[in-house]
Amino acid sequence: MIDANYNFITTDVVPFGRSSDGGLFSHSALEKCMENGSLNIPPDSGLPGSNIETPFIIIGDKACPLKT
């Protein structure tokens, strides 16, 4: 995972094999932290020049299911 400035936040090295991307993600440390709330994602924040509160988001591909 990288941030908006292209800095690596976390990596997870897994063995090469027959596992799908979704299967690997579902057993990764990142997914476990996202599920149990220990990822330390910042709270919602206002958009610059606006009063609209917006959550921080993580963008993934089709291997990563949509979740809160």
Residue 15: per-residue pLDDT: 67
Question: 11 with 17: CB under 8 angstroms?
Answer: no
Helix residue ranges, H only, 1-68: 21-26, 29-36
Mean pLDDT, each 10-residue run in order, the chain (68 residues): 83 70 77 86 88 85 74
Residue 41: per-residue pLDDT: 83
Distances (CA, A) of 20 to 34, 51, 63: 19, 41, 8
Residue 8: per-residue pLDDT: 86
Residue 1: per-residue pLDDT: 79
Centre a 10 Å sphere on the Cβ of residue 25 and count the other Cβ atoms it contains: 19
Give the residue extent of every domain in the chain.
Answer: 1-68
